[in-house]
Structure 1
Amino acid sequence: MAAQKWMKTKYPGVRYREHQSRLHGRQKDRYYTITYKLNGKTKTEAVGWASEGVKPADVSDLLNQLKRNHREKTGFQTLAEKRELAEVAERKEKEAYCLAEQDKMTLVNVWEQHYFTQAQHNKAEKSWKREESLFRIWITPLLGHKVFSEIGVQDLETLKSAMIAKGASLRSVEYALAVIRQMFNVMISYDLYHGDNPVSRVKKPKEDNRRTRFLNEKEAKELLDRAKARNIVLYRMMLLSLYTGLRAGEILKLTWEDVDFANEMLSIRDTKSGKNRHVYMTKLLFSELKLQQDVKSDYSEERLVFIGRFGGPMNEVSRLFKELVDDLRLNENVEDSRQRVVFHTLRHTFASWLVQRGTPLYTVASLMGHSTIAMTERYAHLAPDGLREAVKVLEE
């Protein structure tokens, strides 16, 4: 392609070239530049197309302005500097506008525009759905209309008191405050809120909602026997929880790539605590997982150990588990939810049995995938003889 020819205008220092095909009016579109000397060097800068509204007289005026700035050593010295200053000014104007708009943003605005979408991306479905329910049922009616930056401790105390007065559990109150705390943290991280997080100054209601019920060996055997007779897949899932301490969610996500038969070990990834861990198979569990390999599925993308009725992933543990518990009357006349037998009770039983047999709490914490040893200390009372023997060394 031949080099395009630059042509002079009647204005000194202003030149243009023509577009090969595009027209502007009746003549070819023209691209204007300016040429000048700065610090002893010749400099050429582009201005723009005639079709963009650039006129040679205006280009000449711009060049003259530059030359005056050079003589007076003020203002922009190049077109690039002029554009940069304009961008800075525009950015500051937008920032000022955004700050003004932020001052008007309500709690609902923050939820819809900044918080909920990132929660859906970063949290488990069960978690963000729980947060959405709390926000819709409890938080929105009381604080949704409030300007976000004006929400303070008194507003949060009002929310707390109102929820308790209407019968919400202390755990729900604590969870609702946690949602608001996370909303403030998100806005702080986005540099859209500058100030302290008011939730940090609210005394959070606390209750010990940790489960204390675990199965004795007779109860566990009866439950396993009935499951094996009714649903072999449920039986194997129960074995996993009872003899490795896996959570239901970890069992449902388990793939054959996680199963190491050679070392009789399972790799548990992307856990609730965020830490991967290894657990080990008993002989019974080893043999049952070997048999589970014969269950075929077209759902090859994940190669899940446990598959749903139609060949895809399972979303929850079979409801048959509750039926079996009810058949054995394990929850009969039990009002305290912490004492009720649920699938998670199998995981709790795993830890309880280990501690009763003298396994150190640190080892139990590692097998359970607890983020802190404090979570495992709830089982310490199950080893009273071990604690008593530890103190006796002082008498020796």
Structure 2
Amino acid sequence: MREESQLLASLADRAQQRSGDQVAADAYMLTMFLLDTGGRYSEVAGLRWSQVDLQAGTVSLYRSKVGNESLLRLPLRTLTALRHRQEAMRGAGYSYIFPKLTGGSWAGVDLPRGHATDAIQTQINRCGLNANPREDKVTPHTFRDTYAARLVQAGVSLLKVSNLLGHASVFMTQKYAHLCPEAAGAEAAAVLDRLHSLETPA
């Protein structure tokens, strides 16, 4: 959580310092969205406004890699940011949440941003998240692992996390199993305790 907060603060500062630079503003918003949905970069970068229900607070992510769709509830910080963004983009004629960029501005054409991750990767590196060459390199795709790991550590089952990530099989989610060795046992004990409390003595 400390690294996430540090990165988001760094991205927010850069967006504030470079007022009017849409690249910096989009880098902050896109990073938050990736961290809060566990979406793949390509899925989020190509999102259309029609895939978001700001009233219900949900987003429908199409998982092109596995050919399925996930309906996710958005955390409050991302939902609030999206509502502000929609208001700011009103009348601009973009169907994409993250339109194509040219220079420091939106390109003026209704196309998605594509694979423009340099601004995010630069801030990841500036925050020192890749300072240790013996550790795996942190990239925007790493945010997907961050999302999954946080949920598993909080006790969300691997099956549920698998569904949220849009995995074709729960076996793809097994790499997070080591993060929750006690979670299943604790959940089972809690269920049994509730059932036992309902039993009437003989």
TM-score, scaled to structure 2: 0.79
Q: What are the Cα deviations for residues 254-275 of structure 1, in whole angstroms up to 9, with x where unaligned?
A: 0010010121100112521100
For 2:68 and 2:47, locate their aligned partners in 1 and report how far apart those are by CA, in whole Å.
15
Deviation at 1:344, TM superposition (A): 0.7
The answer as to 2:15 corresponding to 1:218 is no
For 1:341 and 1:290, locate their aligned partners in 2 and report how far apart those are by CA, in whole Å.
29
- Give the structure with higher Rg (CA): 1
- How many residues are paired up? 175
For 2:91 and 2:134, locate their aligned partners in 1 and report how far apart those are by CA, in whole Å.
41
Q: Is the 8 A contact 1:297 1:311 kept in 2?
A: no
Secondary structure, aligned partner of 2:55:
coil
For 1:299 and 1:257, locate their aligned partners in 2 and report how far apart those are by CA, in whole Å.
13
Residue 278 (structure 1) aligns with? 71
Residue 363 (structure 1) aligns with? 160
For 2:189 and 2:50, locate their aligned partners in 1 and report how far apart those are by CA, in whole Å.
47
The answer as to 2:12 corresponding to 1:228 is yes
Q: What are the Cα deviations for residues 88-142 of structure 1, in whole angstroms up to 9, with x where unaligned?
A: xxxxxxxxxxxxxxxxxxxxxxxxxxxxxxxxxxxxxxxxxxxxxxxxxxxxxxx
Residue 322 (structure 1) aligns with? 121
Matches within 5 A, 1:1-396: 217-230=1-14, 231-269=24-62, 271-293=64-86, 294-295=88-89, 300=94, 303-309=95-101, 310-312=107-109, 313-335=112-134, 339-389=136-186
Give the ranges of 4+ consecutive aligned residues of structure 1 lying more than 6 Å apart after TM superposition. Answer: 390-394
Aligned in 2, Cα 1:326/1:386: closer, same or farther, shift over 3 Å?
same
The higher-RCO structure (CA 8 Å, 6+ apart) is 2
For 1:223 and 1:373, locate their aligned partners in 2 and report how far apart those are by CA, in whole Å.
30
Q: Is the 8 A contact 1:297 1:307 kept in 2?
A: no
Deviation at 1:335, TM superposition (A): 4.0
For 2:171 and 2:137, locate their aligned partners in 1 and report how far apart those are by CA, in whole Å.
23
Cα RMSD over matched residues?
A: 2.3
Q: Is the 8 A contact 1:351 1:379 kept in 2?
A: yes
In percent, how many aligned pairs have the same letter? Answer: 27
Unaligned regions of 5+ residues in structure 1, if any?
1-216
Q: What are the Cα deviations for residues 363-392 of structure 1, in whole angstroms up to 9, with x where unaligned?
A: 111110001000111111111222454687
Unaligned regions of 5+ residues in structure 2, if any?
15-23, 102-106, 197-202
Secondary structure, aligned partner of 1:340:
coil
Deviation at 1:306, TM superposition (A): 0.7
Deviation at 1:295, TM superposition (A): 2.6
